[in-house]
Amino acid sequence: MRITIHRGIDQIGGCITEIATNNAKILIDLGQNLPNGEGVVNDDFANSDAIEKITKDIDAIFYTHYHGDHLGLFHLVPNSITQYIGKVAKRVALCKHQRLSFIKDRKEQSEKEIDRIEAMQSFESQQIFKVGDIKIIPYFVSHSAYDAYMFLIEVNGKRILHTGDFREHGYLGKGLLPTIEKLILKQGKIDFLITEGTMLARLDERVRHENELKGEVVELMKQNKNVFVLCSSTDMERLATFHAANQKMNGRPFVCDDFQESVLEIFSDTAGKKSTLFDFEKPYIFRKDNEKLINWMKDKGFCMLVRATDKFDDYTEFLLPLLEKDKTILIYSMWKEYINPQCKHANKKYLDFIDKFSKVSKIHTSGHASAECLADVCNLVNPKTGIIPIHSENSADYQKLPINEELKDKIITETKKIDDTLIEIKRTTKRQQWV
Task: List, for residues 277-327, the tens digit of each pLDDT value.
Answer: 999 999 999 999 999 999 999 999 999 999 999 999 999 999 999 999 999
* pLDDT confidence bin for 41, thresholds 50/70/90: confident
Looking at the 3D structure of the chain, how many domains does it have? 2
Mean local confidence (pLDDT), 160-169? 97
Asked if pLDDT for residue 99 goes beyond 50, the answer is yes
- Residue 37, pLDDT score: 64
- CA dist 187 → 127, 179, 180, 381 (Å): 15, 12, 10, 12
* pLDDT confidence bin for 435, thresholds 50/70/90: very low
The verdict on 349 and 413 lying in the same domain is no
Q: How many CB atoms lie within 10 A of CB 307?
A: 20
Asked if pLDDT for residue 394 goes beyond 90, the answer is no
Establish if 432 belongs to a structural domain.
Answer: no
The verdict on 29 and 174 lying in the same domain is yes
Query: What are the φ/ψ torsions at residue 402 (nearest 5 degrees)?
Result: -80, 70
Mean local confidence (pLDDT), 228-248? 98
The whole-angstrom separation of Cα 133 and Cα 135 is: 7
- Residue 202, pLDDT score: 75
* pLDDT confidence bin for 40, thresholds 50/70/90: confident
The whole-angstrom separation of Cα 276 and Cα 420 is: 49
Asked if pLDDT for residue 254 goes beyond 90, the answer is yes
Establish if 353 belongs to a structural domain.
Answer: yes
Q: Are 92 and 65 in contact (CB under 8 A)?
A: no
The verdict on 326 and 229 lying in the same domain is yes
- CA dist 284 → 142, 256, 392 (Å): 27, 6, 39
Asked if pLDDT for residue 35 goes beyond 90, the answer is no
Task: Indicate the residue among 338, 362, 386 that finishes a domain.
Answer: 362
Establish if 434 belongs to a structural domain.
Answer: no
The verdict on 272 and 334 lying in the same domain is yes
CATH number of the domain residue 185 falls in: 3.60.15.10
Asked if pLDDT for residue 434 goes beyond 60, the answer is no
The verdict on 198 and 215 lying in the same domain is no
Establish if 307 belongs to a structural domain.
Answer: yes
SS3 category, 300: helix
- Residue 38, pLDDT score: 66
Task: Indicate the residue among 362, 386, 402 that finishes a domain.
Answer: 362
The whole-angstrom separation of Cα 121 and Cα 252 is: 40
Task: List, for residues 44-66, the tens digit of each pLDDT value.
Answer: 999 999 999 999 999 999 999 99
* pLDDT confidence bin for 206, thresholds 50/70/90: confident
* pLDDT confidence bin for 357, thresholds 50/70/90: very high
Q: Are 361 and 330 in contact (CB under 8 A)?
A: yes
- Residue 28, pLDDT score: 98
Establish if 197 belongs to a structural domain.
Answer: yes
- Residue 201, pLDDT score: 75
Mean local confidence (pLDDT), 331-357? 92
The whole-angstrom separation of Cα 86 and Cα 66 is: 9
The whole-angstrom separation of Cα 212 and Cα 333 is: 13
* pLDDT confidence bin for 179, thresholds 50/70/90: very high
Mean local confidence (pLDDT), 118-130? 98
- Residue 108, pLDDT score: 87
SS3 category, 2: strand
SS3 category, 255: strand
Q: Are 15 and 392 in contact (CB under 8 A)?
A: no
Task: Indicate the residue among 341, 362, 383 that finishes a domain.
Answer: 362
The whole-angstrom separation of Cα 68 and Cα 89 is: 12
Question: Which range of residues forms the domain containing residue 278?
Answer: 210-362
* pLDDT confidence bin for 432, thresholds 50/70/90: very low
The verdict on 262 and 307 lying in the same domain is yes
Burial class of 131 by CB neighbour count within 10 A (0 to 12, 13 to 18, 19+): buried
Establish if 262 belongs to a structural domain.
Answer: yes
The per-residue pLDDT of the chain, averaged, comes to 94
The verdict on 9 and 136 lying in the same domain is yes
CATH number of the domain residue 214 falls in: 3.40.50.10710
Quick one: angle between helices 236-247 and 258-269, nearest 10?
100
> What single letter denotes the amino acid at residue 27?
L
Mean local confidence (pLDDT), 268-275? 98
* pLDDT confidence bin for 345, thresholds 50/70/90: confident
The verdict on 140 and 222 lying in the same domain is no
Mean local confidence (pLDDT), 139-158? 97
- Supply the DSSP symbol for 283: P
The verdict on 167 and 129 lying in the same domain is yes
- CA dist 209 → 165, 170, 222, 352, 371 (Å): 17, 6, 21, 29, 14
